[in-house]
Structure 1
Amino acid sequence: MVGNLKPGSKLYEWFNDRLGLDELVAFAQHKTVPVHKHSAWYYWGGISLFCFLVQLFTGVLLLIYYRPGPDAHESVRQITYDIHFGWLIRSVHNWSANGFLLSVFVHMFSVYFMKSYQKPREFGWWSGMALLMLGLLFGFSGYLLPMDDLAFFATKVGLEIPNSVPVVGPTIASLFRGGSEVGEQTVQRFFALHAVVLPLLYLPLLFVHLWLVQKHGMSLPPSEQEKPVAKLKTIPFFPNFLLKDLAMWLIAMNVIALMASLFPWQMGKAADPLAPAPPGIHPEWYFMSPFQLLKIMGNLMPGALGEGVGMGVFTLGLALWCLIPLYDTKSAGGKRARNATYFGLLALGLYIGTTIWGYVGL
């Protein structure tokens, strides 16, 4: 039947009359992807998409057995130790979550340094930043759900980050907690956020982002824009680039499967709010940079003032990062383009440096 689905066949025409296959075929045949020494960075967006799809699939399987509320820890214990291959599904879910955020960060920085936020791709940049923020909320809300001691105390520490925002911070933290302390109400709220609210926000935005990428195509880095048109190389999106993209998906799948098999995701004992926090409690790696920045500013300034200043500096930097398309608007090199590159290098260095500092200082 698949072999009969060719242009001109009766089966093809039946589908074409109803779905407009001619438009899809014409688009696939004419869409091209630039080829240059930086082409490898194009695949990171696809890798992040693959990791997200793995998260969706494994998340649905985990939903079958997970019970939010007082039985949260016991349900995760049963998934990990009693349900056949439950440990594997949970490990794949957690490793793909880390792979998703890592690939999104790599994708974001590659887009930034290739200046793919410039006209007409500003909304692609802004939608991508919104997806990153939602992805971080996915990671934060999902981390508490096992309700073991590490997740419990790490969430308490993590909620100190929004709590340090002047005026609105305490209200936001209280809304997440469902009260003054992390407890069963917090687990239920995080579960609703993780499994219902965030997917409803993320999926439509993801489709908009993918549509923008398809509409504007892959951008050329500044070094390629200076070349004559005759010297620019391209490959067809279908099937050449698509097959390479799928090969990257296969590599990502193997990496996730290998990590899940060799390093299965562990869980600690049930959280005890009355017990002292274990030593070395800290947020996950993707929140370590702002956490360390708050610690640094807290050491330089007394109490809440230092944390407020630290959060203000981080928020200002994030705002400037998001608004960079309005500053660096020209495709050709210039003073603003160089300043934007320096700002990107500074942001990358600070993020990596403070993250490493946070782990070394534990």
Structure 2
Amino acid sequence: MKVRLQKIYEWIDQRVQLQDLINFMGKKYVPVHRHSVWYYFGGVTLFLFIIQVFTGILLLFYYKGSADLAFESIQFIMSKVSFGWLIRSIHTWSANLFILSAFIHMFSVYFEKSYRKPREITWITGMLMLLLGLGFGFSGYLLPWNELAFFATKVGSDIIGDIPFIGEELKIFMRGGEDVTGATLSRMFGFHVALFPALFSILLIIHLLLIQRQGMSQPIDFENNSGNEISKMPFFPNFFLRDILFWLLVLNLLAVLAVFFPSELGRKADPFAPAPAGIKPEWYFLFMFQTLKYFPANIWIVEGEMLGIILFVAAGFLWLMVPFWDTKSSRGQKNRLTNYIGLFAVIFIIVLTILGWIS
């Protein structure tokens, strides 16, 4: 058996130079320090994206993206297709864990100042992927065409319509008209399975190439302390095997969530029915949704909700551009202001999400 495997390996190696790739990975090193654990969340996010793609393709075999058939096709998947309920639950839970892992990865990169020169483009591509990840969640939420998803999409797109200058046009473009209809479902389906995955894949390739080219960033404290002996581990097999271990732990967590807390379908959407009480977006939008509720109807001559959206857009843009305005970190100096801003953002998101969940 060992001889046969060796021959298979040699056959592949002669055609794709597999050994050269292994040698390349063996020459790459990963810094080892007290914050090294945060490196693994980038790999976990990638792993969950792969699960999303795989389970999404399986669901596509049976899903029908029209208002007349979408709900019934999900019912068929969950009740008639072998393990269809499990595949849908895995897809749903992996989407939530994907966004959670992406947020953790983003904040770990932020607090480690890993966005500083020469990694500005790596940071920007990562942030754009996070934005697309939220787009995955928003577009996929409507696809079951159930009551909760229908009215949550209506509320969410109404909020988008309050964006100054382009909001109304963007809302109509997303909905395919003035209201949430079958055209909205078709557009969300197209965004979810074609446009967003294509854009995400392009950014992912650029992101991974930049990481391979630049290597893993080290914390400023570690770089500035000349007394620190630089400790590193080979990417392959040491770091790679640890990465796989994290993936297996996440896979076990995903299996437990999917089996013991399966996704529910609810009732089919009825555009003419009144909206049920307590309609809320998914948890990763809750902090924004809850914040907008605290704004008064009008602040001077500006609508309160519009002002809130302007502030969120401005804050998001400043967050995206942090490599360019955090010049102290780029020079290898400590910048407590960025730490305080990041800490405030974490506390703000957690607290407002909890308030939105229990309200």
State TM-score, norm by structure 2: 0.94
Task: Out of 261-270 and 220-229, give the one that drifted further.
Answer: 220-229
**How many residues were matched structurally?**
353
Equivalent position of 2:174 in the other structure = 176
Gaps of at least 5 residues in structure 2 are none
Structure 1 Cα separation of the partners of residues 17 and 83 of structure 2: 42
How far the C-alpha of 1:121 sits from its partner, in A, is 0.7
Q: 1:73 aligns with which of 59, 71, 74?
A: 71
Q: State the Cα distance separating 1:146 from its structure 2 match.
A: 0.3
Partner of 2:56: 59
The one of 100, 104, 107 equivalent to 2:105 is 107
Partner of 1:46: 43
CA distance in structure 1 between the aligned counterparts of 2:266 and 2:301, rounded to whole angstroms: 32
Deviations 1:137-185 (A, max 9, x none): 0010000000010111111111122111012101111111111111111
Structure 2 Cα separation of the partners of residues 158 and 298 of structure 1: 19
Residue type of the alignment partner of 1:333: Q
Question: Is the 1:222–1:331 contact (alpha carbons within 8 Å) kept by the matching residues of 2?
Answer: no
1:309 partnered with 2:307: yes
- Give yes or no for contact 2:222–2:228 (8 Å, CA) kept in 1: no
Amino-acid identity (%): 46
Equivalent position to 2:210, from 204, 212, 215:
212
RMSD: 1.8
Q: 2 CA distance for matches of 1:179 and 1:300?
A: 27
Residue equivalent to 1:2: 5
CA shift at 1:300, angstroms? 6.5
Contact 2:22 2:236 in 1 (8 A): no
8 Å CA contact retained: 1:113, 1:341: yes
- AA aligned opposite 1:48: T
State the Cα distance separating 1:267 from its structure 2 match: 0.7
1:91 is aligned to: 89
**Secondary structure of the equivalent of 2:233?**
strand
**Offset of residue 206 of structure 1:** 0.6
Q: CA deviation at 1:4?
A: 4.2
Distance 1:108 1:50, change over 3 A: same
Correspondence for 2:318: 320
Q: How does 1:1-362 map to 2 (within 5 A)?
A: 1-4=4-7, 11=10, 15-16=13-14, 18-21=15-18, 23-69=20-66, 70-228=68-226, 231-298=229-296, 301=299, 305-329=303-327, 330-334=330-334, 337-361=335-359
**Cα 1:219/1:180, change in 2 over 3 Å:** same
Q: Which amino acid aligns with 2:166?
A: V
Contact 1:76–1:146, Cα closer than 8 Å, also in 2: yes
Deviation of the 1:199 alpha carbon:
1.1
More deviation in 317-326 or 206-215?
A: 206-215
Q: What do residues 199-237 of structure 1 show as CA deviations (whole Å, max 9, x unaligned)?
A: 111112111111111111111112211233761211111
CA distance in 2, matches of 1:338, 1:299: 36
SS at match of 1:235: strand
Secondary structure of 2:134's aligned partner: helix
Q: Deviations over 1:91-115 (max 9, x none)?
A: 0000000010000000000000000
CA contact (8 A) 2:89 2:258 kept: yes
Cα offset, 1:298, TM superposition: 3.7
Deviation string 1:262-311 (CA, Å, 9 cap, x unpaired) is 00000111111111111110110111122122211245748971011000
1:90–1:265 CA contact under 8 A, matched in 2: yes
2:294 aligns to what SS in structure 1?
helix
In the alignment, the residues of structure 2 paired with residue 58 and residue 21 of structure 1 have an alpha-carbon distance, to the nearest angstrom, of 29
Q: How far off its partner does 1:349 sit?
A: 1.8
Name structure 1 gaps, 5 residues minimum.
none
SS at match of 1:281: coil
Counterpart of 1:190, as a letter, is M
Distance in 2 between residues matched to 1:147 and 1:156, nearest whole Å:
12
- 1:174 corresponds to which letter in structure 2? I
Q: Deviations over 1:245-264 (max 9, x none)?
A: 00000011111111000000
CA contact (8 A) 2:26 2:236 kept: yes
Aligned letter for 1:154?
Answer: A
SS across alignment from 2:333: coil
Amino acid at match of 2:277: P
Q: 1:117, 1:125 within 8 Å by CA — same for their partners in 2?
A: yes
Separation in structure 2 between the aligned mates of residue 235 and residue 338 of structure 1, nearest angstrom: 30
Whole-Å separation in 1 of the counterparts to 2:47 and 2:26 = 24
Partner AA of 1:257 in structure 2? A
Q: Distance in 2 between matches of 1:28 and 1:149?
A: 49
Q: How many angstroms does 1:132 deviate by?
A: 0.5
Compare 309-318 and 297-306 and name the one that shifted more: 297-306
Query: What is the rounded CA distance, in whole Å, between the counterparts of 2:296 and 2:192 in structure 1?
Result: 31
Alpha-carbon distance in 2 for matches of 1:237, 1:272: 53
Moved more, 125-134 or 270-279: 270-279
Q: 1:303 to 1:265 in 2, by over 3 A?
A: farther
Question: What is the TM-score when the length of structure 1 is the normalising length?
Answer: 0.93
Distance 1:125 1:85, change over 3 A: same
Q: Secondary structure at the match of 2:276?
A: coil
